[in-house]
Chains A and B, each alone.
Chain A
Amino acid sequence: MENSKTETKIPAGGKKIVLVGNPNVGKSVFFNALTGLYVDVSNYPGTTLDMACGRYNGDVVIDTPGVYGVSSFSEEEGITRDIILAADLVINVIDAVHLERDLFLTLQVIDMGIPMVVALNMVDEAAREGLKINAVLLEKLLGVPVVSTAVVHNVGIEELKEKLYFARPGQPEAQLLKKIENMGTSVSRAEALLVLEGDPVVSERCGVKPGTGREQIYRNRLDRVSRIVNLVVQETDSGKDFVSRLGRLMLRPSTGFPLLLLTLWVIYELVGVFLAQVIVPVTEEFMIEYYEPAIGSLLDTFLPRDSVINNLLTGRFGLLTFTVTYMAGLLLPLVLGIFLVLSVLEDSGYLPRIATLVDRAMSFMGLNGQAIIPLILGFGCVTMSIISTRMLRTDRERRIAIFLLALGVPCSAQMAMIMAVLAAQGGFYLLFYLCFMFCVLVATGTLLGRFLPGRASPLLIELPPLRLPGPQNVWKKAWSKSYQFMKEAFPLFAGGALLLGILEVTGLLQGLREFFVPITVAWLHLPAETADVFIMGLIRKEFGAANILVLQMLPLQKLVVMITLSLTVPCIASTMIILKERGWREGLLLWFVVLALAFLIGGLVTRLLEFFSSSGSLQNPLLFGVMILALAATIALARFSPPGKAL
């Protein structure tokens, strides 16, 4: 998102250079090499969801989402299509290992008549796989300059820069060209081609009827691809090694689920135990023991101790104490840790394999396995992952995925606070929390999958080769994401603290607390002060949750607050994105439904927990039994309810 703001003005006389390629071929690395800016590099489809722009020699370079072809099968394809239509020249990045897949897009852009240069990337990997590729012949067959590169090792960049301005339209298919000329309309050749291929959006824009020959055109193009590949690729030997065997093991349920559990356990040990219980206490103590007293005594020399301003700056919700301590001492290490983990997952190529593994289970929630990717990314940042739901193919799937993200997936900042608050209470509370959230997610998903009209679209996903992520790339990505995150969070966090401080100083907070008594005290059985938590939680969850550390509460009550808070929509930014992606009506409806559900479920869990704690011990295994039973009942209800009841 942030990238789109960097530079979008095109200098006078400047050209629009557009990077185009299949997912996961290294476009973003080229973008970095040309512009010096950093964007995400990931090993799964759908990373570059908003275009990134940068400058190169007075021209504008635009990075696009990875696509397999130019058309309108999903929203991200639509975005890419429009950028390509507006391009002056295209750098087409193709993966030397997967020419038979990547050349389809190449030939399509050539048929569109857009000047192009081809970067034949990952030639090193192709050599390792035993493939020899004749780049000179490829250049002749395509009719555009071809440069061999291995961009992650900085090979071929200079040559690409040299050949960039020799970009030219390639060798189109003669028959197709004739058809386009016969159309004789005023539209451009590129648009004419897309109309022939039946693209509904472009046809409507041009005011003509979409063509019906798409399949035939695609098939001819694929035949051309096969002919070219047969001519330029020589296979010496086929590699079957440990990596491809590991890739298989990840797909088989008998080994795949244990591997998945092992991965999740390692992540938990890393983030939940090492970071949250070893590193964070140190950084937090440093802030409280050294930073806060220092800033306090410094300020006392300028301002009287009990003045309003001093209170706002260093009081309970102090801008310089509370805000800075939580941002730097607690959030930063945890958020960075979670983004590091996610970067490794993204770059390794494991995510599409998880998608394949869980495809069956996800189908009960009306989703296909691919939807697991936004859901996992949601644990990093719900706002970003809501954007990444664009990779899903139907509107219905996006609706379900966004609802689940809004309701049941806590983002990294929330996870940070949850780890900090609940880990201090003991493992039981954390376990209960995780189990409970999981049950809510599955139950909600099952109900939505059952009662929203329509069906899950079938899974069709490419499994990229497993790669060991480059430490530098992982670090850069995690750091830039954390930085963006902190940059966005800081003003909101500070503004929230200020607001809360002002409310407290003026006594308004007391009024609000009383207003919310029916919900907080009567329904959730919590102290009235928890109203602060929920009020601030509307802005940013972790900010609301940070207040819990300040309040005196029973462990059970902390758990209830955490669950209720987690279930409401994550933050003001994600609310805005939901409204943007789903429109005002659906967005607002979703927001209020999630809010109502959160408090409803919060009240129910209060009663459940109180029942158990009054009848002996709270830490009773039966508690989990009740949870699983409720989940099973919901699933049964959804599966066996008469179909006539569907909305």
Chain B
Amino acid sequence: MTLDKARKGQVIKIKSIANELIRVQAIRFGLSEGEVVVCREIVPAGPVVISRHKQEIAIGRSLARNIQVELC
């Protein structure tokens, strides 16, 4: 499934990020494919907020649609 379908509180593993440019930018945030994150918040029709360790990252909806994830 894609990240925008995730629900609040779910622990998910990032499988792939479609856009190459975004992929390398995400790596620099410390976020890469294979990473396990927690879905913290979903702004209705808006961004998805995920967290990993102590860090929170907001991801726009259009981008979340292009991120493949699986439930852990």
Interface residues of A (CB under 8 A from B): 68-69, 73, 97-98, 100-101, 104-105, 129, 131, 214-215, 218-219, 221-222, 225, 247-248, 251-253, 256, 352, 355-357, 359-360, 363, 368-369, 456, 458-463, 465
Cα-based distance from A366 to B49 in the complex (angstroms): 21
Known: A248-B40, A252-B41. A459 touches B28 (CB 8 A): no
A98 and B57 contacting across the interface, CB-CB below 8 Å = no
Contact of B53 among A100, A222, A248, A253 (CB under 8 A): A100
Contact of A69 among B28, B52, B59 (CB under 8 A): B28
Cα-based distance from A53 to B63 in the complex (angstroms): 38
Q: Which of A221, A360, A456 neighbours the largest number of chain B CB atoms within 10 Å of its CB?
A: A360
B55 and A222 contacting across the interface, CB-CB below 8 Å = no
Residue of A nearest to B40 (CB): A248
Cα-based distance from A101 to B46 in the complex (angstroms): 24
Hey, which chain B residues are within 8 Å of A247, CB to CB?
56
Contact of A219 among B27, B40, B61 (CB under 8 A): B27
Contact mask B28-57 → A, CB, 8 Å, 1/0?
A: 111010000000110111110100111111
Cα-based distance from A456 to B6 in the complex (angstroms): 23
Q: Which of B22, B46, B62 neighbours the largest number of chain A CB atoms within 10 Å of its CB?
A: B46
B60 and A359 contacting across the interface, CB-CB below 8 Å = yes
- Minimum CB–CB distance from B37 to chain A (whole Å) comes to 12
Contact mask B11-35 → A, CB, 8 Å, 1/0?
A: 0000000001111111111101000
Cα-based distance from A561 to B12 in the complex (angstroms): 56
B49 and A460 contacting across the interface, CB-CB below 8 Å = no
Residue of A nearest to B49 (CB): A251
Contact of A460 among B22, B43, B45, B52 (CB under 8 A): B22
B43 and A251 contacting across the interface, CB-CB below 8 Å = yes
Given contacts A253-B44, A256-B43, 19 further A-B contacts (CB under 8 A): A68-B29, A69-B28, A100-B53, A100-B55, A101-B29, A101-B55, A104-B27, A129-B54, A215-B24, A218-B32, A225-B30, A247-B56, A251-B41, A253-B46, A369-B58, A369-B60, A458-B62, A459-B60, A460-B57
- Minimum CB–CB distance from B26 to chain A (whole Å) comes to 7
Cα-based distance from A101 to B44 in the complex (angstroms): 27
Hey, which chain A residues are within 8 Å of B59, CB to CB?
458-460
Hey, which chain A residues are within 8 Å of B26, CB to CB?
460
Hey, which chain A residues are within 8 Å of B58, CB to CB?
251, 352, 355-356, 359, 369, 459-463
Hey, which chain A residues are within 8 Å of B63, CB to CB?
458-460
Hey, which chain A residues are within 8 Å of B41, CB to CB?
248, 251-252
- Minimum CB–CB distance from A50 to chain B (whole Å) comes to 23
Cα-based distance from A136 to B22 in the complex (angstroms): 35
Q: Which of B26, B27, B40, B59 neighbours the largest number of chain A CB atoms within 10 Å of its CB?
A: B27
Hey, which chain A residues are within 8 Å of B53, CB to CB?
98, 100
Hey, which chain B residues are within 8 Å of A73, CB to CB?
21, 25
Hey, which chain B residues are within 8 Å of A214, CB to CB?
24
B24 and A222 contacting across the interface, CB-CB below 8 Å = no
Cα-based distance from A11 to B66 in the complex (angstroms): 51
- Minimum CB–CB distance from A73 to chain B (whole Å) comes to 6
Cα-based distance from A222 to B32 in the complex (angstroms): 8
B61 and A462 contacting across the interface, CB-CB below 8 Å = no
- Minimum CB–CB distance from B62 to chain A (whole Å) comes to 5
Hey, which chain B residues are within 8 Å of A355, CB to CB?
58
Hey, which chain A residues are within 8 Å of B25, CB to CB?
68, 73, 460
Hey, which chain A residues are within 8 Å of B32, CB to CB?
218-219, 222
Contact of A100 among B21, B43, B46, B52 (CB under 8 A): B52
- Minimum CB–CB distance from B64 to chain A (whole Å) comes to 8
A98 and B54 contacting across the interface, CB-CB below 8 Å = yes
Cα-based distance from A356 to B63 in the complex (angstroms): 13
Hey, which chain A residues are within 8 Å of B30, CB to CB?
98, 100-101, 104, 222, 225
Hey, which chain B residues are within 8 Å of A360, CB to CB?
43, 45-47, 61
Cα-based distance from A17 to B24 in the complex (angstroms): 28
Hey, which chain B residues are within 8 Å of A105, CB to CB?
28
Hey, which chain A residues are within 8 Å of B61, CB to CB?
359-360, 458
Contact of B29 among A129, A219, A252, A462 (CB under 8 A): A462
Contact of A359 among B21, B47, B52 (CB under 8 A): B47
